[in-house]
Amino acid sequence: MLLADVQLQLGSLDLAVALRAEPGEVVAVLGPNGAGKTTLLRAIAGLTPIRSGSVVLDGVVLEDTATRTYVPTERRPIGVVFQNYLLFPHLSALDNIAFGLRARGRGRDAHVVARRWLERMDLAAYENAKPAALSGGQAQRIALARALATDPRLLLLDEPLAALDATARVNVRRDLKRDLTQFEGIRILVTHDPLEAIALADRLVILEDGRVLQSGTATEVTQRPRSRYVADLVGLNLMRGHAGAGHIAIEGGGTLAAMDSTEGEVFAVVHPRNVALYRSQPEGTPRNVWSGRITALDRQGDRVRVTVGGAPRLVAEVTPAAVQELQLAEGGQVWVSLKAAEVEVYPA
């Protein structure tokens, strides 16, 4: 088990994160740029000094500022795969894998173990190849083999697919999922790609401004987002406000009627496909109706996401045919309609 309680200051970043991960678990840490994801991994690995806190792995204290305990990076049972892999350009694939073993005093069997990993990664034919001769996917697998060859208890992966193009990423993601499944230790993956996190991880940890904002399974996090960042990742409208008497006063202006009887500070989530758009005020007695101005149209496959500024601001999802029929365009005025039953409410 990993228990990390890390506080540090790095430039404008004020990081204060408590993270727990179990053996056999894949934890994905997501967050916007500058949230502290990579810094957290480097602190756990001992590569970035922490101001206060501790890192405990399988009951062994690797770092504790209270007792001034510090185990150097090279002596921690941790494997790291960096974003750009950091393979030594002058070394062959075999020697790159063997490097970590030699650094830990296993020079005698380093090449034997490295060859075994090359075979396991289906890269035996590239034993003598230098990194410049490898594809992005092959380089990623060599970096992963180098990290795993030392039999770590904890594997840290920092944006392991970020350096790949879109075509290669799909295939390498599949291979990475298989490799992570075969590793029995603790795995922590840093990524900004929600598809990557959902495909590879058992649990998501959302990091923003150096703090853990939300954690849970992919379903728990995506169905009940607690920040605009998460809501944008999964394409939902998220608003915060004060609920009472069946209405929500939205921060930033506007109100929403909802069927939920929750009171107090709440989040309100609306799926864009449940937002209806009209060129004139709709007839009938819908509970939520207001006008706004279109600020953006974004074509995504067979759907168009229409951002409507107003109080509140919402994104609607319509078909390209509806865009033509309603003559929707940036700057145009539209009416928004939303059923109260389509507003999901939960405590903030």
> Token pair 């507003």 is at which residue?
343
Q: List for the chain the helix, strand, coil content (%; round to 5).
A: 30, 35, 35
- Give residue 160's pLDDT: 83
Q: What is the pLDDT of residues 180-191, one digit of tens each?
A: 888 889 999 999
Give the full edge-to-edge strand order of the sheet including 78-81.
Answer: 78-81, 154-158, 186-191, 26-30, 203-208, 211-216
Give the contacts of 50 (CB within 8 A, at least 6 positions apart): 6, 7, 8, 43, 63, 65
Q: Are strands 154-158 and 186-191 parallel, antiparallel or unpaired?
A: parallel
Q: Name the CA radius of gyration of the chain, rounded.
A: 25
Check: pTM over 0.85? Answer yes or no. Answer: no
List every span in the chain annotated with CATH 2.40.50.100.
235-273+285-347
pLDDT at 198: 87
Confidence at residue 337, expressed as pLDDT on a 0 to 100 scale: 94
CATH for 235-273+285-347? 2.40.50.100
pLDDT digits (tens, 9 = 90+) for 193-215: 888 888 889 999 999 999 999 99
Q: Which fold, 2-228?
A: Rossmann fold (3.40.50)
pLDDT of 140:
86
pLDDT score for 260: 84
Compute mean pLDDT per 10 residues along the chain, 348 residues long, and list them. Answer: 96 96 93 93 96 97 96 92 88 92 82 91 92 90 90 92 75 83 91 86 94 93 89 91 93 91 92 94 84 94 93 94 94 94 92
* Cα–Cα separations (whole angstroms), residue 245 to 48, 202, 226, 345: 50, 38, 23, 13
Q: Contact at 8 Å (CB) between 312 and 231? A: no
The ranges of the chain annotated as CATH 3.40.50.300 are: 2-228
